[in-house]
């Protein structure tokens, strides 16, 4: 009898057999793996592109599809070795005769990696490892010089140049240490401003401009590893929390032949501003530097003389809240390193909300600035007029006549490709076919005649095609994801729909709703809300949602309604007022909008059981899960909060101060936005999940919340994953365990079926 009871208890804890098997297929097999094309590299100005296939690099003639093996595995097998290099990434020299191979990569933190670089000379066939006697996996960000004769890289926070013909290595900086960083960035600038590759070759190859960070005085956060050795190992990461001391940042220029660095005379306290962008102006006679003040409500572009260091402000953009400045992924991938140039480098593209919508402008370097307060320049010229947001620029035509960008004026859940004429701004031209609503991503060739196009929808896995532009004509399919499409068909067969939910405030939120397979409008179903709700991302997109979306499908198949809403303050392309409405009170408006959305939907639909509503989210979504459980306990009866920020003062300077202002100037905003201060409201079932090795959102916040809940005599549950990062993905079986635990928690506390 005891064995039967135990078996029944285990079955109950593990959930239904069907759900268990589905989650195993999603997270513990290759059944739902998404195949991506590439990585592809455009060569010959777009006439061809290369792809990595195992340890071979294949060139594809763009127009015809003719394949040629440029580099075979034998060419990438080190002398005396038996296996070719395992390629993590690769880069061609400008003349196409040399290849840099990045291998043996090791994570530094979230996205930065270090590893080994090997050089293949395609003319001689010689393969050799760069770095001399450098320790294994110690090089970062290797790049060819413009003449393809040298390679620069970062090692141990110093910048080096290696001559390829002789192997001679020259250290351009020597002061790199735990607190002095050259040629890359510190944690917070990498995470929040996308600063990773921290140097730029001059066009003539004679100089290198680079970022320098002085981390002295920045508090370190220790990550404790209790499991991998007899005694705990401690990793200390300099991490400035909101309101604390930042790194001092400056820009230097050093001769590629070695010598003393010249520091650019950027105005202001180097610890109270950010230098978010760097590029050589056409011809290399000057540098363009992007500067952002500590409050991030004023962005300036400066022009600096690399020989003297003299710098002047030539453009300034301001906002009552914050100015968005993060580098465009496409521009970085295309090699423009943050600046997208017009008019042979005389002007550059700037995205701004200054007219209430995010638009592209042509800004320049007109006129001298006699002081550092009021730049003397002509006003930037609007390139994309209209009542819509430019989501991201994609390319500038080589002749400078067209700018390509993503937008979705009619539906914020979509991403479509447009182009606008630079010399005659007006109504943009839609290039994505009107018959293809959904989510479109484009990797456009340098000549803007071709694009590798990835297209998906909420119910349709991605397909990758080669397109001819501007007619958007499909030349050939590159990846169809047939296996994923077949395997996902049954799981994704349950009904799903996109919603527009009107709130009492007059605001309309976008949302989606998944239903069980045998859905009946005459039944009442429990509702699980998936939330993010912060300014860094959206959840309601007509795009293939990946494994997390399949997890939601699995929950729906168990008898749940599953929904998500994008509240005000999320970066949906709905205009400045929408996106920046949460300034100074992150967490407050999101909780209000999410609660009202569920109630409004419940009034419209009789199939929602408002007595059985749950919520879950990750990171900012974990924070909003706490806010909803604490602030709206009468509605949200069960919640799972993964890697939350319970107290906003515990998160980093750049992110939190961007959206909240400085803690010393907005103490009340930080208080009312932090869920820990409303924990007394908890009455439902709450599971808190965190990885102790999270270098981004520290486990510290969860421990503080646990203490607060204990003091309040609250009942709650905790799941801790030792040494896991913010992704909670490291270690065999971790993802399956995590998602099974989330599903089981809802089954236990918000049952979909009456037992």
Residues with Cβ within 8 Å of residue 493, at least 6 apart in sequence? 517
Residue given tokens 């069907």 in the structure block: 18
CA distance 541 to 572: 9
Instruction: Work out the angle at residue 447's Cα, subtended by the Cα atoms of residues 442 and 450, and round it to the nearest 5 degrees.
Output: 40
The three state secondary structure string of 89-106 is EEEECCCCCEEEEEEEEE
Per-residue pLDDT for 466 more than 70?
A: yes
Dist. CA 545–CA 353, nearest whole Å:
29
Contact 102, 92 (CB under 8 A): no
Q: Cis peptide before 470, with omega less than 30 degrees from 0?
A: yes
Q: What are 410-429's pLDDT values in tens digits?
A: 999 999 999 999 998 789 99
Q: Residue 208 has which token pair? A: 């290198």
Q: Does 490 score more than 90 pLDDT?
A: no
**210 burial via Cβ count (<10 Å: 0-12, 13-18, 19+):** buried
Using an 8 Å Cβ cutoff, are 19 and 558 in contact?
yes
294-337: pLDDT as tens digits: 999 999 999 999 999 999 999 999 999 999 996 544 444 444 46
Q: Which residue has the tokens 């007006």?
A: 426
pLDDT score recorded for residue 468: 98
The residue written with tokens 């010959």 in the block is 44
Q: How far apart are CA 442 and CA 465, in angstroms?
A: 10
Residue 524: enclosing H or E segment and its boundaries?
A: none
Q: Which of 438, 442, 400 is nearest to 417 (CA)?
A: 442
Helices in 543-587 by DSSP H: which ranges? 546-557, 576-579
Per mean pLDDT, which range of 3-17, 314-328, 454-468, 498-512 is the poorest?
Answer: 3-17
Distance CA 304, CA 280 (A): 10
Which pLDDT value is given to residue 13?
A: 41
Phi-psi region of 661 (alpha: psi -120 to 50; beta: other; left: phi over 0): left
CB 304 within 8 A of CB 287: yes
Name the average pLDDT for the chain: 93
Binning pLDDT at 50, 70 and 90, where does residue 499 land? very high
CB 587 within 8 A of CB 620: no
Residue 7 has pLDDT above 70, yes or no: no
| Tokens encoding 358 | 């995010």
Query: Apex CA 549: angle with CA 545 and CA 553, to 5°?
Result: 140
pLDDT, tens digit (0-9, with 9 covering 90-100), for 340-352: 999 988 899 999 9
734-749 and 17-27 helices, crossing angle to 10°: 150
> Of 108 and 524, which is predicted with more confidence?
524
Structure tokens at 685: 């079932």
Q: Is the pLDDT of residue 375 over 80?
A: no
Q: Tell me: the pLDDT tens digits for 665-675? A: 999 999 999 99
Closest CA to 503 of 597, 425, 422, 567: 597
Using the predicted structure, report yes or no on whether residue 11 has a pLDDT greater than 90: no
Round to the nearest angstrom and report the end-to-end CA distance of the chain.
20
Of residues 90, 57, 49, 88, the one with CA closest to residue 74? 57
- What letter would DSSP give residue 378? P
> What mean pLDDT do residues 573-599 have?
97
- DSSP structure class, residue 165: T
pLDDT for 332 equals 44
Average pLDDT estimate for 132-144:
96
- The residue with tokens 């009871």 is 5
Range scoring the smallest mean pLDDT among 127-141, 221-235, 357-371, 719-733:
357-371
**What does the alpha-carbon distance between residue 171 and residue 134 come to, in Å, rounded to a whole number?**
12
Laid out side by side, the sheet with 67-71 consists of 41-43, 48-53, 56-61, 67-71
Q: Identify the structural domains of the chain with CATH numbers, from first to last.
A: 88-263 (2.140.10.30), 494-537+547-749 (3.40.50.1820)
Task: Name the residue among 279, 228, 272, 222 with its Cα closest to residue 247.
Answer: 272
pLDDT at 697 over 70: yes
Q: Are 625 and 539 in contact (CB under 8 A)?
A: no
Does the structure show a pLDDT above 80 at 643?
yes
Residue 337 confidence (pLDDT): 63
Q: Which helix (H) or strand (E) holds 624?
A: helix 620-631
pLDDT for res 479: 96
Q: Is the pLDDT of residue 367 over 90?
A: no
Question: For residue 282, is pLDDT > 90?
Answer: no
Residue 30 has pLDDT above 50, yes or no: yes
Q: pLDDT band for position 15 (50/70/90)?
A: low
313, 302 Cβ separation under 8 angstroms: yes
Interval 114-118 mean pLDDT: 96
DSSP string, 456-522: EETTEEEEEEEEETTTTEEEEEEE--HHHHHHHHHHTTS-EEEEEEE-TTS-EEEEEEE--TT--TT
List strand residue ranges (DSSP E) for 567-712, in order: 608-618, 636-642, 685-691
Tokens of 169: 């290595």
What CA–CA distance (Å, rounded) separates 353 from 382? 11
CB-CB neighbours of 293 under 10 Å: 16
Answer whether residue 368 shows pLDDT above 60.
no
- Provide the pLDDT for residue 226: 96
Say how far apart CA 110 and CA 607 lie, in whole Å: 42
Q: Residue 617 pLDDT more than 90? A: yes
Helix (H) or strand (E) holding 230: none
Distance (Å, whole) CA 193 – CA 517 = 43
pLDDT of 372 above 60: no
């Amino acid at each position: 009898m005891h064995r039967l009871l135990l078996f029944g208890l285990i079955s109950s804890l593990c959930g239904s057999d069907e759900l268990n098997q589905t989650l195993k297929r999603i997270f513990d097999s290759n059944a739902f793996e998404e195949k991506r094309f590439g990585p592809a590299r455009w060569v010959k100005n777009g006439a061809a592109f290369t792809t990595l296939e195992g340890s071979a690099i294949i060139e594809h003639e763009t127009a015809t599809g003719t394949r040629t093996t440029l580099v075979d595995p034998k060419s990438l097998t080190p002398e005396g070795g038996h296996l070719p290099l395992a390629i993590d990434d690769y880069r061609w020299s400008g003349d196409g005769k040399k290849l840099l191979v990045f291998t043996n990569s090791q994570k530094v933190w979230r996205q930065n990696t270090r590893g080994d670089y090997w050089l293949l000379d395609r003319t001689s066939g010689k393969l050799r490892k760069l770095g001399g006697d450098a320790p294994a996996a110690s090089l970062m960000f290797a790049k060819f010089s413009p003449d393809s004769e040298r390679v620069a890289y970062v090692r141990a926070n110093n910048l080096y140049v290696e001559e390829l013909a002789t192997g001679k290595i020259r250290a351009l900086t020597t002061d790199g240490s735990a607190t002095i960083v050259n040629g890359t960035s510190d944690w917070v600038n990498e995470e929040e401003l996308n600063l990773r590759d921290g140097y730029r070759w001059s066009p003539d190859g004679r100089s290198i401009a680079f970022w320098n960070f002085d981390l002295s005085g920045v508090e370190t956060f220790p990550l404790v590893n209790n499991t991998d050795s007899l005694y705990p190992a401690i990793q200390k990461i300099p991490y400035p929390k909101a309101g604390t001391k930042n790194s001092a940042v400056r820009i230097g220029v050093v001769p590629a032949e070695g010598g003393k660095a010249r520091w650019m005379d950027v105005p202001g306290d180097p610890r109270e501003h950010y230098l978010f962008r760097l590029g050589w102006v056409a011809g290399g006679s000057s540098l363009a530097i992007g500067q952002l003040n500590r409050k991030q409500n004023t962005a300036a572009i400066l022009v600096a003389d690399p020989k003297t260091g003299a710098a002047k402000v030539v453009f300034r953009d301001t906002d009552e809240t914050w100015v968005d400045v993060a580098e465009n992924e496409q521009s970085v991938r295309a090699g423009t390193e943050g600046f997208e140039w017009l008019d042979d480098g005389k002007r550059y593209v700037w995205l701004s909300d200054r007219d209430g919508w995010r638009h592209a402008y042509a800004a320049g370097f007109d006129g001298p600035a006699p002081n550092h307060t009021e730049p003397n320049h002509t006003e930037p010229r609007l390139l994309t007029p209209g009542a819509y947001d430019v989501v991201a620029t994609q390319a500038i035509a080589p002749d400078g006549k067209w700018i390509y960008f993503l937008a979705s004026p009619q539906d914020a859940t979509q991403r479509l490709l447009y182009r606008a004429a630079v010399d005659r701004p007006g109504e943009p031209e839609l290039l994505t076919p009107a018959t293809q609503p959904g989510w479109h991503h484009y990797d456009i060739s340098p000549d803007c005649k071709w694009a590798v196009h990835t297209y998906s929808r909420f119910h349709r896995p991605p397909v990758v095609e080669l397109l001819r532009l501007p007619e958007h004509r499909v030349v050939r399919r590159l990846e169809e994801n047939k296996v994923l499409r077949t395997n996902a068909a049954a799981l994704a067969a349950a009904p799903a729909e996109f919603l527009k939910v009107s709130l009492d405030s007059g605001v309309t939120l976008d949302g989606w709703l998944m239903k069980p397979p045998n859905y009946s409008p005459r039944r009442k179903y429990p509702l699980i809300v998936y939330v993010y709700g912060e300014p860094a991302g959206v959840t309601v997109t007509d795009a293939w949602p990946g494994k997390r979306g399949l997890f939601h499908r699995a929950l729906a198949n168990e008898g749940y309604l599953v929904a998500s809403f994008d509240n005000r303050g999320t970066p949906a392309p709905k205009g400045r007022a929408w996106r920046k409405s949460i300034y100074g009170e992150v967490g407050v408006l999101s909780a209000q909008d999410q609660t009202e959305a569920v109630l409004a939907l419940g009034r419209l639909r009789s199939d929602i059981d408002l007595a059985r509503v749950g919520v879950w989210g990750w990171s900012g979504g974990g924070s909003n899960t706490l806010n909803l459980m604490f602030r709206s306990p009468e509605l949200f009866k069960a919640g799972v909060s993964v890697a939350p920020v319970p107290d906003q003062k515990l998160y980093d300077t750049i992110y939190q101060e961007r959206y909240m202002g400085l803690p010393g100037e907005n103490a009340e905003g930080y208080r009312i936005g932090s869920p820990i201060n409303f924990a007394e409201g908890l009455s439902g079932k709450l599971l808190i999940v965190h990885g102790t090795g999270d270098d981004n959102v520290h486990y510290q916040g969860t421990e503080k919340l646990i203490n607060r809940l204990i003091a309040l005599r609250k009942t709650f549950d905790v799941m801790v994953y030792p040494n896991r990062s913010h992704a909670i993905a490291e270690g065999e079986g971790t993802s399956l365990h995590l998602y099974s635990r989330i599903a089981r928690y809802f089954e236990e506390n918000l049952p979909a079926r009456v037992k």
